[in-house]
Amino acid sequence: MTEAVQLTEHGGGVVQITMQDRSEKNTFSHALVGGLIEVYARIAARPDYKAVVLTGYDTYFASGGTQQGLLAIHEGKMTFADVNMYSLALDCPIPVVAAMQGHGIGGGFVMGLYSDIVLLSRESIYTTNFMKYGFTPGMGATAVVPYRLGESLAHEMLMTAANFRGAELERRGVACQVLPRAEVLPRALEIAAGLAQKPRAALVLLKRHMTRALRERLPQCISEEIAMHEHTFHQQAVADRIATAFGR
């Protein structure tokens, strides 16, 4: 493991992934991305694991792309799909519970929504802020956000790039548990423990069945998002916004 990502065994087949790249506030740094890819590979290779809890540290869950990474996409040096870390939870063979105890920003929020069960914090901010910088959403956001939160709310979040507190999303009727921050991780571990009481083979088969529609939709969605980026991401105004508004 790396300092940015820790894997903890809780016994009974439950494991916890903790994202804690404190110096980068859990943006998609090389350390965080590499650590996540490594731990999910280890989990997939362990037949005794039955459920995963994915969480962050303090008031941060995950904060999306780094400023350098966004500028690299703007300059045409890479695309968000060059390294597929965004759907690691979806591709994990066993159920993943996202304990989003802290802020979920942009791609960080989208990454959490690929989990099978999502818990939010009333105090935290959640946003799909791609359009804040003038480029259209990526990471499969146009597929997974409506899949998880519903079409109407997804359209509002993706188009406006507005910030939403967990408490507001709760009032809007999101189909996720929304709890005080201190209760999010304990509740997620409780759910994972309940999942781990079931046979692993049944969990794997049921997850594969229930996520099939999203997995089948995702490749075309990624292709369409990259095509939209060709028209939106390479504008000078986008670079200016990334340079001046990033992190604000």
Residues serving a catalytic function are 229
Measured CA distances, 79 to 48, 76, 82, 142, 222 (Å):
35, 7, 6, 16, 11
**Can you state the angle between helices 141-149 and 151-160, rounded to 10 degrees?**
140
- Residue 71 makes CB contacts below 8 A (sequence gap 6+) with 239, 242, 243
Q: Under DSSP, is residue 204 helix (H, G, I), strand (E, B) or coil? A: helix
Distance CA 139, CA 33 (A): 14
Give the DSSP per-residue string, 16-45: EEEE--GGGTTBS-HHHHHHHHHHHHHHHT
Question: 35: closest CA among 110, 97, 88?
Answer: 88
Contacts of 122 (CB under 8 A, 6+ apart): 165, 166, 167, 170, 178, 179, 180, 181
- Distance separating alpha carbons of residues 98 and 117, to the nearest angstrom: 6
C-alpha distance across the termini of the chain, in Å:
31
